[in-house]
């Protein structure tokens, strides 16, 4: 059975066009695992695999193996940041009746970065969808799109405030040991990419700085991790 390791070797040993054509053929293989791996390899090839976009769209929309559909969606995001065809397919997938398809479409649009800016309204609306962790994937996608997601900042800030206040009220639940799973951590990171100079960003930093000096070790650790996630835009929070 074809696998990702053998494909990786093939990429090293052959031209991208040859490998791409072979992977397109493998997308029709009887094995769902082989189809999934083929889509994954095409995604790793990035823009060099542009010719595979129609086949990947077909896999996303018609394959009977969910993992192949997910792999195809992610490949489209990685291959086609400048492809209207790939963007249109992923944007269409946001309306799928299957939650896992909607979730991976959100994530794949995030892979497109600024190329997915036309999806900002739809992604912002998905901040309220509490299934398949779609709301968190939407936060990350909006952050990856960057400044073109400016209209989403109020909703992201609302999510930050609500989540960090909930954790404070609960006395720092165990989830604070893994802040990267928290809404406030993800929302803060997104806002730092979208609007590093904004009132919302300043207020987030003020809240995190207060938490750094609190008495609860878990809250302190979560604040430090969130500041680190915000990167250079959080420099004012770092002691001189």
Percent of the chain with pLDDT over 90: 68
Give pLDDT tens digits for 189-210.
Answer: 999 999 999 999 999 999 999 9
* Separation between Cα atoms, residue 112 and residue 85, nearest integer Å: 12
pLDDT band at 9 (very low <50, low <70, confident <90, very high): low
- Residue 132's SS3 state is coil
- Residue 187's SS3 state is helix
* Separation between Cα atoms, residue 92 and residue 86, nearest integer Å: 10
* Separation between Cα atoms, residue 91 and residue 101, nearest integer Å: 11
pTM of structure: 0.87
Contact between 155 and 127 under an 8 Å Cβ cutoff? The reply is: yes
């Amino acid at each position: 059975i074809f696998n990702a390791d053998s494909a990786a070797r093939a990429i090293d040993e052959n031209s991208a066009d040859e490998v791409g054509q072979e992977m397109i053929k493998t997308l029709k293989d009887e094995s769902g695992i082989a189809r999934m791996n083929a889509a994954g390899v095409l995604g790793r090839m990035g823009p060099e695999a542009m010719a595979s976009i129609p086949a990947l769209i077909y896999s996303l929309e018609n394959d009977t193996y969910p993992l192949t559909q997910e792999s195809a969606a992610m490949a489209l995001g990685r291959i086609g940041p400048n492809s209207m065809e790939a963007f249109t397919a992923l944007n269409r997938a946001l309306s799928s009746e299957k939650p896992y398809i909607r979730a991976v479409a959100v994530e794949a649009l995030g892979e497109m970065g600024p190329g997915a800016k036309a999806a900002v309204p739809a992604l912002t609306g998905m901040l309220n969808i509490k299934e398949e962790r779609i709301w968190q994937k939407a936060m990350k996608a909006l952050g990856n799109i960057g400044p073109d997601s400016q209209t989403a900042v109020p909703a992201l800030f609302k999510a930050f405030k609500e989540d960090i206040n909930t954790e404070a009220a609960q006395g720092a639940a165990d989830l604070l040991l893994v802040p990267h799973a928290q809404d406030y951590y993800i929302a803060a990171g997104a806002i730092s990419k979208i609007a590093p100079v904004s009132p919302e960003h300043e207020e987030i930093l003020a809240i995190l700085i207060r938490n750094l000096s609190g008495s609860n070790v878990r809250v302190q650790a979560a604040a430090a991790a969130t500041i680190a996630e915000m990167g250079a835009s959080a420099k004012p929070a770092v002691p001189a």
